[in-house]
Amino acid sequence: MLSTTKNILIGHILGDGFLYPPTKREGKSQLESKYSDKSLEYLIWLREGLSELNPGPIKPHQNDQHLYRTKASKELGELRKLFYPKGKKIVPKEIKSLLTDPISLAVWYMDDGTLDFRERYHCNAMIATYGFSFSDCKLLVNTLHDNFDIKSIVTVCTMRGIKYPRLYVWAKDSIRFLNLIEPYILPCMEHKIVKCNL
């Protein structure tokens, strides 16, 4: 697998990408990418960036969404085992050796990131990590620090009475983080960075 393909894939798996359970005989898995119509430009870009994985055509889906699935492969099957060891997506302990490129951060941020911008107050990048455990998020915090020199913390977000973890990039590091990923941010996602006047 080409390095660019893998780097996009790692960011997407951390975000909204879904890997199907591997086939029993060959251990092959498929990747599914699904977004609403307003993010169709991003879905098209992802499909092109992952062309090595032989993605199928983009098809309409329910509730104004579109999706595509890749051809099943053993490489995706191995990633499925790594990120879904017991059927639920986790952050693998090997994440520090996988999340090493700014394009991975950009894809992850376009998937799950938001900008907490308050004029004359602060500008913080946040990444929704609601599906991960707090210990998983600590691995991500350490990876951001060690691989990119980006400081972040795990905060608590409460929705419908349930507490979820969320990564919050320190204010003094957010501009550097956003500058790092800005070359890869698509026009349809510019609202996630533009207010900070990079």
How many Å apart are CA 109 and CA 79, to the nearest integer? 20
pTM: 0.94
Q: Would the CATH topology of 3-85 be identical to that of 98-196?
A: yes
Task: Residue 165: name the closest of 124, 139, 136, 125 by CA.
Answer: 136
Q: pLDDT (tens digit, 9 = 90+) per residue, 73-89?
A: 999 999 999 999 999 99
Domain boundaries, the chain: 3-85, 98-196
How many Å apart are CA 60 and CA 40, to the nearest integer? 10
| CATH of the domain spanning 98-196, picked from 3.40.5.50, 3.30.70.3170, 3.40.50.460, 3.10.28.10 | 3.10.28.10
Where residue 195 falls among pLDDT bands split at 50, 70, 90? low
DSSP 8-state symbol, 190 = G
Task: Residue 69: name the closest of 81, 84, 53 by CA.
Answer: 53
Cβ contact 102:8 at 8 Å = no
Q: For the chain, what is the mean pLDDT?
A: 93
How many Å apart are CA 50 and CA 126, to the nearest integer? 25
Instruction: Please check the confidence at residue 96 and state whether its pLDDT lies above 60.
Output: yes
Q: CATH says 3-85 is which class?
A: alpha beta
pLDDT at res. 162: 84
pLDDT at res. 161: 82
CB contact burial 57-78 (16+ within 10 A = b; e otherwise): ebeeeeeeebbbbbebbeebbe
Percent of the chain with pLDDT over 90: 79
pLDDT at res. 171: 85
Q: How confident is the model over 168-172, as a mean pLDDT?
A: 90
Contacts of 118 (CB under 8 A, 6+ apart): none
Question: What are the φ/ψ torsions at residue 10 (nearest 5 degrees)?
Answer: -60, -45
How many Å apart are CA 91 and CA 93, to the nearest integer? 7
Q: pLDDT (tens digit, 9 = 90+) per residue, 11-28?
A: 999 999 999 999 989 999
pLDDT at res. 87: 94
Cβ contact 70:30 at 8 Å = yes
Token couple for 148: 């990119």
